[in-house]
Chains A and B, each alone.
Chain A
Amino acid sequence: MTTTDLVPALEQEEAADPFTLGGEAFTSRLVLGTGGLPSLEVLEDVVRASGTQLVTVALRRVEAAAGSSMTEVLRRCGVRLLPNTAGCRTAREAVLTAQLSREAFETEWVKLEVIGDDRTLLPDAVELLDAAEQLVADGFTVLPYTTDDPVLGRRLADVGCAAVMPLGSPIGSGLGIRNPHAIALLREQVDVPVVLDAGIGTASDAALAMELGCDAVLLASAVTRARLPVQMALAMRQAVEGGRLARGAGRIPRRWHAEASTSMAGLPDL
C-alpha cells in the first residue's frame, strides 16, 4: 500500500491514535468512490491527489463494466479495493454480490449497501442488518452504509461489522451532514470506526465529519462530479486532515456572547 505524507502535527495525531480498519492501518482517512468520473484518464490523477489508500469499486455485467484498464490504474496507484453491493435491495442479493466480489477482487472486504427506496437511496435497515450478520458469519470484513440512526449503528457493530458508515445525507445529494448531532451520538455509541459515507458536497462537509469525531470520510460524487475533480480531490484531502487536526486540537466552547481575545489589562484612558 502507498503511504501518504503528512504534516508533522498530523503525524503525531496519527501515531497517538491511528486509523485502523479490519486490522489494517491507514494513514489516509479519506475513502474514495470511483463512480461518476467522466473518463478513466482522470481516475489516476484523482486518486493520487486525494492521497487515498482505499477505493470503492463495483461489479456489473461485462457488457456494462469498465474493463481491465480500470483495475490496472488502481493497481498502479497501490490502493486497496473495497467492492460495494450498490444496487442490491435485499439481504439475499447483497450477500450474493459480496460473495461474487470476493471471487472477482480476491478480498473479503465489502462496503455493504442494501437500498430500500429508489428515489432517496436510503438503506433498508432490516435487510441491511440481516445481510451484515450473514456476511460476518461468512468471514467478511463488513463496512455497512447505514442511516445516521445511532441505535442501528450499535446493532451493526454488535453483529460484528468492522466499521459503521452513516450517511450525512442521501447518496449524491451533496446536502452535507443534515444531522450532525446524530453522527456525534453514533460516534459515542460504538467502539468500531465510524466513516461518514454519502452526502458530502464540498470540503467543509468533510471537515465537519472529522470534527464530529468520525474516523474517516467516504465520498465519490463530490469529487467525481465536481467541475475540477482533481482539484476537489486535493481539497477533500486537506479538509479531512484539517478536520482531524481540529478535532484533536479541541475546539473552543460555543458562547452566547463575545469574549474579547485582546486583554483589557493596560487599556489606555484616551
Chain B
Amino acid sequence: MTIQVTVNGAPTDVADGATVAALVADRSTGHDRVAVALNGGVVPRSRWTATALAPGDRLEVLAPTAGG
C-alpha cells in the first residue's frame, strides 16, 4: 500500500505509514543539516521518527546552499 504526498513540489508515492525520517533518509544523500517543513510548519529533527505521513501532505526537504 502506498499513499501520495507532495515532496518539494512533486507528487510522490510513499509507503503507507512512512515517516518523515524515512523520507529524509531517502532524499538527503550528500547533504547534511537538512530541515523539513510539513504543511507549512517545521518538523524538528527530534520529531522525524515519530511523524508519519498522511495522504496529501505537502513536504519541503531543504538543505544548505550558497546565498548572499
Decide: A84 near B66, CB < 8 A? Known: A62-B8, A103-B44: no
Decide: A66 near B35, CB < 8 A? Known: A61-B8, A99-B42: no
Decide: A66 near B64, CB < 8 A? Known: A71-B33, A100-B35, A103-B35: yes
Query: How many contacting A-B pairs (Cβ < 8 A)?
Result: 106
Decide: A65 near B40, CB < 8 A? Known: A57-B67, A60-B63, A70-B66: no
**When the two chains form their complex, are residues B62 and A100 in contact, meaning their CB atoms are under 8 A apart?**
yes
**When the two chains form their complex, are residues B61 and A58 in contact, meaning their CB atoms are under 8 A apart?**
no
> B32 touches which one: A59, A71, A103 (CB < 8 A)?
A71
Docked CA distance A105–B45 (Å): 12
Residue A116 is within 8 A (CB to CB) of chain B in the complex: no
How many residues belonging to A are interface residues under a CB distance threshold of 8 Å? Answer: 37
In chain B between 50 and 68, which residues have their CB closer than 8 angstroms to a CB of chain A? Answer: 60-68
Which residues of the other chain, B, contact A61 by a CB distance below 8 angstroms? Answer: 8-9, 60-63
In chain B between 12 and 68, which residues have their CB closer than 8 angstroms to a CB of chain A? Answer: 27-28, 30-37, 40-42, 44-45, 60-68
Interface residues of B (CB under 8 A from A): 8-9, 27-28, 30-37, 40-42, 44-45, 60-68
A–B complex contacts, Cβ < 8 Å, 15 sampled: A34-B66, A57-B64, A59-B35, A59-B62, A59-B64, A61-B9, A61-B60, A62-B34, A84-B67, A104-B33, A104-B64, A172-B68, A220-B67, A220-B68, A224-B68
